[in-house]
Structure formats: C-alpha cells, structure tokens
C-alpha cells in the first residue's frame, strides 16, 4: 500500500467520522436543523427583491478589459457627447438611445399615399405629446420652503418642465462627497418629460430619421415624381431613403413609385447622466403606451434602444412559470419513485423535503449574492434548473444510504442517520465540490461579466443546497425515522396498528 493510498484512506476516515458525528447530532435535535435553514434562507430570498437587475447587453456581454472596451473609454475621454446641440450619429461614443416605429398598410399596399402620410404625421404628433411624470431628487438652499420659489418652469399641475436644477447625484459628483453641506437640503420634484426635453438636437432642432415624410416638401416631390432612390437630392441635402423606406418599387429612371413600409427613428440625447436617465425612463414609458396610440388603418411595430435587454429580462421572468412547473414535476417524480411500501414506511413526503432543500439553496443564493451587490443578469435564470437537478441527485444518494441501513433493525434513529451520513456524506460532498469548483473557476476566469455573475450565483446555490441537504433534509430524515419507528401514518401522523394487531374479517367470522 503506497503512502498516497494510506493518506487518502486516513483523510476519508476522518471525514467519515465527522459525518457520523454530524448525523448523530442532527438526529438528536432535528427541529433546529429543519427550522433554522428555512428561516435563514427564506429570509435571504426576500432580499432578492432589492437586488440590482442589470439588463445592459453591452456591459454584460462585452469582454472585460478588452481592447475595444478600453479604447471606447479613451475615446469618450477625448470627445464629448454632442447630442444636445450637435448631433451626429457617426460621432456617438455610445450606442444611440432612441425609439423606432415601422408603419405599413394592412393590405401591404403603397404607404406613400396622402391618407397614409396624414396618419404617419398624426402618429408622430402623438409620440411627441407623450408625457412621462417622474420623481427627481434635487438639491436646494436650506431656506427653500416651496419649489415654486426657486424659479423652475412648472405646469399648472405643479410638474417641473425645465432642467435648471441640480440633482442629488450631480451635487454629490460635483462636490466629491456622499453627504450634503449644512446650507442645502434635498427636495423631491415631479418632472414632466416629453420628447422635446430629451431629443437629440442639431442646430436647435430635434433629429428624427425619416423626418421628411412629415413635410410638405416630400409630398410635393413624390407627387411630381422627383424622389430618387436610394439617394434623394432633397431640400435638406442628399438623404439615404433606404434607411427609412421598405420594399421600394422604383421607376426605370430610379424614382420612387411606391413603398410598402416607412420607418421613423426618434433619437435621444445622453450628454449628461441625468438626461440619459430621463431618456431611458421615457423610452420605457413609451414602450408601455405605444400600443394604445391611434394608428388608423396602418399596421405598426415599435422598438427601443433597450428592447433587446428588456426582452431578455422578460424571457427570464417568463421562465418563472416553467420553473414552478419543473418544481412540481420534480416533486411528483421523486414522490412516485420513493412511494413504495405501506402507509407507514412510504417516503413520498421525505422526497418533498429533498426537493425543498434545493429550492432553499436557490432562494438563499439569489438573496445573499444580490445583497452583496452582484447584479442579477438574465442568464442567471438558468440557475434554478441546474441546482434543482444537483440537489435532487444528492437527495437520492442520501435516501439510498438510508435504505442501506434497513438490514440492521437494532439501530436507533441517531445511529441510522449517522451511518447514512457516513456512507453518503463523502459522495454528496465530492459531487457538490466538483460542481461548485467548476462555477468558482468560471466566476474568476471568464472574460464576460454575465458569465461571471452566473457562476457566482450558481456556485453559491450549489453550496447552500449542499448545506441544506446535510441540515434541513437530514432533519427531515430523522423525523421520518421517528415516525416510522412509532408506526404513524405517512400523511396524518396518527398511530397505525401493527400487522400483528390487525384482524381480518371473513364470511366465517373474525380470524386473527
């Protein structure tokens, strides 16, 4: 026998003794081991509500410290964002904020008729009139008692319509501090935001891709048959119509005869953090109200610059129902597999405890890691399915070890559970350690922030699930053993007569 083998056997023996003692402890005091994990990890799960949910696709799926990322930061430090007064789509440092809408006839006919152009113009006006109300924290002199006295432009309803204020974040950034000076205080105002407040501008005018469809000049040129495609020599210079017209039919000399779809893109500015926040919030508000606008007889489709991230998040939230279905299916499967025996020895409810141990691991991980400030990203939505499978595997290992002790009927409950832990403890430790280590490595080595966050959440869930199997599920096994030893029904826990005390009634009378 080699030294390495001796060392391995010594380590294995040490762990077996530890698991044996733990099993005895859990069997002697099962209620604390059942109740405490439920209280602790369920409470942690509540904190997931306050976790930071990150849906920015660029931040989550761009390699960390990549050359492109570093050079983007360098470019942003050299060139200011000019979307407030000198907008140029080719000079942007970040992906452009904005909304887009595509309109077409329901019968797929020409969209450039006078009637359709009137509807398009009306839709654009409706979008411009969309008003979002949002609360903003601003810093004002301490002597201020009423926001009407500090010179802000306001509506009759008391909603602020101007930007001539200092937000709390702007104040803290400018003063490099997290607190307030003695002569100022924070007040909350209601800000009314329209498209005019957040639109990207050039020479004082909001910049909209496809704006020419809203003008009389385009209508006249189209009626006269002088609109060239794809480049139109318009009154505003050469315009690329291929960006705004779909399925275009042209004449032999390259003039637009008809088109099936029109696309309008309203660009937003992001020259300051506050304006960017307002733009993003207005964009989310638009996505909510856009289906209720009046589009006449036109079909429509709309999108926003954050649509991809939002739809990924929506898909993750939609998985909640699938997870609930998977959870129910796993309970049914585990109960059916372990439901053998009579009404006393059946382990169907014990299997439910094993599935709940995995669920506690999931909730505990979501709450704990969210509480530590690690953003929740959409791919973390895959984590519950992985952890549920890992946890149920460990449950079956422990139940198999429990069944292995049935041959010795002289064992007490603490001795049976101690023997179970000694047999299965190393097995579930190795499986959990293997799975957890893989996620730990991914959490430290992946170049993608989304993968790192996924590995952190999942690795933590695997560890908590392992702890719950040894504590919560171990306590459930001890209580199950007590119930069986005292011959109580698996559902009602009422005392059941043994086989030797039952009487069989036949048509000859009673036979015992």
pLDDT of residue 487: 66
List Cβ neighbours of 70 (8 Å cut-off, separation of 6 or more).
Answer: none
The bridge status of strand 208-209 relative to strand 504-506 is unpaired
pLDDT of residue 319: 65
Shared-domain flag, residues 345 and 418:
yes
> Pick from 271, 286, 306: which residue ends a domain?
306
Counts of helices then strands in the chain (DSSP H, E): 15, 15
If one compares 510 and 414, the residue with the highest pLDDT of the two is 414
Shared-domain flag, residues 273 and 331:
no
Give yes or no for residue 23 having a pLDDT over 80. Answer: yes
Paired residues of 488 in beta bridges: 495
Residue 120 lies in a domain: yes
Per-residue pLDDT reduced to its tens digit, 195-252? 998 898 888 888 899 998 999 999 999 999 999 999 999 998 899 999 999 999 999 8
List Cβ neighbours of 6 (8 Å cut-off, separation of 6 or more).
Answer: none
pLDDT band at residue 474 under the 50/70/90 scheme: very high
Shared-domain flag, residues 352 and 436:
yes
The bridge status of strand 201-202 relative to strand 245-246 is unpaired
pLDDT band at residue 265 under the 50/70/90 scheme: very high
Shared-domain flag, residues 293 and 157:
yes
Residue 215 lies in a domain: yes
Residue 127 lies in a domain: yes
Shared-domain flag, residues 387 and 427:
yes
Q: How many domains does the chain have?
A: 2
pLDDT (average), residues 282-310: 88
Measured CA to CA, the distance from residue 402 to residue 417 in angstroms comes to 7
Per-residue pLDDT reduced to its tens digit, 101-130? 999 998 889 999 999 999 999 999 999 999
Residue 276 lies in a domain: yes
Question: Structure tokens of 182?
Answer: 């003695």
E runs forming strands in 393-502: none
Residue 418 lies in a domain: yes
Question: Structure tokens of 58?
Answer: 């660029």
Chain CA centroid to CA 244, Å: 33
Shared-domain flag, residues 144 and 217:
yes
Please report which helix (H) or strand (E) contains residue 367, including its range: helix 348-371
Residue 62 lies in a domain: no
Question: Structure tokens of 190?
Answer: 């209601």
Measured CA to CA, the distance from residue 103 to residue 397 in angstroms comes to 59
Measured CA to CA, the distance from residue 443 to residue 449 in angstroms comes to 9
184, 140 Cβ separation under 8 angstroms: yes
Residue 504 lies in a domain: no
Read off the pTM: 0.75
pLDDT of residue 354: 87
Output the domain CATH number for residue 407: 1.20.1640.10
Measured CA to CA, the distance from residue 261 to residue 100 in angstroms comes to 13
> Pick from 283, 306, 329: which residue ends a domain?
306
Residue 77 lies in a domain: no
Q: Could you tell me the residue range of the domain that residue 238 belongs to?
A: 86-306
Shared-domain flag, residues 302 and 315:
no
Question: Structure tokens of 399?
Answer: 């139940």
Per-residue pLDDT reduced to its tens digit, 46-57? 888 888 887 777
Measured CA to CA, the distance from residue 431 to residue 408 in angstroms comes to 28
Shared-domain flag, residues 225 and 294:
yes
pLDDT of residue 180: 72
456, 364 Cβ separation under 8 angstroms: no
Please report which helix (H) or strand (E) contains residue 240, including its range: strand 237-240
pLDDT of residue 41: 93
pLDDT (average), residues 464-493: 83
Instruction: Report which listed range, 83-97, 312-326, 460-474, is most confident.
Output: 460-474
pLDDT of residue 511: 39
Per-residue pLDDT reduced to its tens digit, 124-180? 999 999 999 998 888 888 777 777 666 677 776 777 777 777 787 777 777 765 667
For the purposes of burial, counting CB atoms within 10 Å of the CB of 191, is it exposed (0-12), middle (13-18) or buried (19 or more)? Answer: buried
Shared-domain flag, residues 320 and 442:
yes
List Cβ neighbours of 408 (8 Å cut-off, separation of 6 or more).
Answer: none
Shared-domain flag, residues 115 and 246:
yes
- 3 state DSSP class of 378: helix
- 3 state DSSP class of 492: coil
pLDDT of residue 507: 42
Question: Structure tokens of 7?
Answer: 């060392």
397, 421 Cβ separation under 8 angstroms: no
Shared-domain flag, residues 224 and 339:
no
List Cβ neighbours of 455 (8 Å cut-off, separation of 6 or more).
Answer: 439, 440, 441, 442, 443, 446
Shared-domain flag, residues 441 and 295:
no
């Amino acid at each position: 026998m080699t030294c390495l083998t001796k060392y391995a056997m010594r380590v294995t023996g040490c762990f077996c003794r530890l698991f044996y003692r733990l099993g005895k402890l859990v069997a002697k005091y099962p209620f604390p081991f059942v109740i405490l994990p439920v209280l602790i990890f369920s409470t942690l799960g509540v904190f997931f509500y306050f976790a930071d949910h990150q849906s920015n696709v660029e931040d989550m799926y761009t390699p960390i410290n990549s050359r492109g990322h570093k050079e983007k930061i360098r470019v942003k430090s050299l060139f200011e964002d000019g979307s407030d007064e000198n907008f140029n789509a080719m000079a942007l440092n970040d992906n452009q904020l904005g909304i887009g809408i595509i309109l077409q006839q329901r019968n797929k006919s020409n969209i450039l008729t006078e009637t359709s152009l009137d509807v398009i113009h009306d839709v654009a006006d409706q979008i411009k009139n969309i008003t979002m109300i949002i609360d903003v924290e601003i810093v004002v002199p301490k002597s201020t008692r009423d926001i009407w006295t500090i010179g802000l432009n306001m509506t009759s309803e008391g909603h602020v319509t101007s930007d001539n204020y200092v937000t709390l974040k702007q104040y803290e950034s400018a003063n490099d501090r997290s607190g307030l000076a003695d002569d100022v205080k924070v007040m909350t105002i209601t800000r009314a935001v329209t498209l005019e407040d957040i639109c990207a501008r050039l020479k004082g005018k909001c910049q909209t891709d496809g704006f020419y469809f809203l003008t009389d000049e385009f209508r006249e040129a189209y009626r006269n048959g002088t609109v060239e495609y794809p480049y139109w020599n318009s009154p505003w210079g050469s315009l690329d119509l291929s960006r705004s017209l779909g399925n275009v039919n042209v004449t032999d000399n390259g003039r637009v005869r008809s088109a099936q779809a029109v696309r309008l893109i309203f660009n937003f500015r992001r020259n300051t953090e506050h304006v960017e926040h307002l733009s993003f919030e207005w964009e989310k508000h638009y996505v909510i109200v856009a289906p209720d606008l009046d589009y006449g007889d036109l079909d429509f489709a709309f999108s926003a610059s954050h649509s991809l991230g939002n739809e990924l998040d929506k898909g993750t939230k939609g998985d909640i129902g699938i997870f609930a279905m998977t959870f129910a299916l796993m309970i049914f499967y585990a109960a059916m597999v372990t439901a053998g025996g009579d009404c006393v020895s059946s382990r169907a409810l014990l299997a439910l405890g094993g599935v709940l141990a995995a669920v506690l691991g999931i909730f505990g991980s979501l709450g704990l890691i969210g509480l530590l400030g690690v953003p929740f990203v959409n791919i973390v939505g895959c984590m519950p399915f992985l952890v549920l499978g890992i946890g149920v595997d460990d449950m079956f290992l422990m139940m198999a070890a429990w069944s292995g002790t049935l041959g010795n009927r002289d064992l007490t409950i603490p001795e049976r559970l101690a023997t179970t832990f000694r047999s299965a403890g190393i097995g579930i430790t190795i499986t959990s350690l293997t799975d957890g280590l893989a996620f730990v490595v991914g959490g430290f080595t992946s170049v993608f922030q989304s993968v790192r966050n996924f590995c952190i959440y999942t690795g933590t869930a695997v560890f908590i699930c392992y702890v719950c199997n040894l504590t919560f599920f171990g306590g459930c096994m001890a209580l199950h053993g007590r119930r069986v030893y005292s011959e109580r029904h698996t559902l009602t826990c009422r005392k059941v007569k043994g086989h030797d005390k039952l009487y069989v009634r036949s048509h000859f009378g009673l036979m015992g």
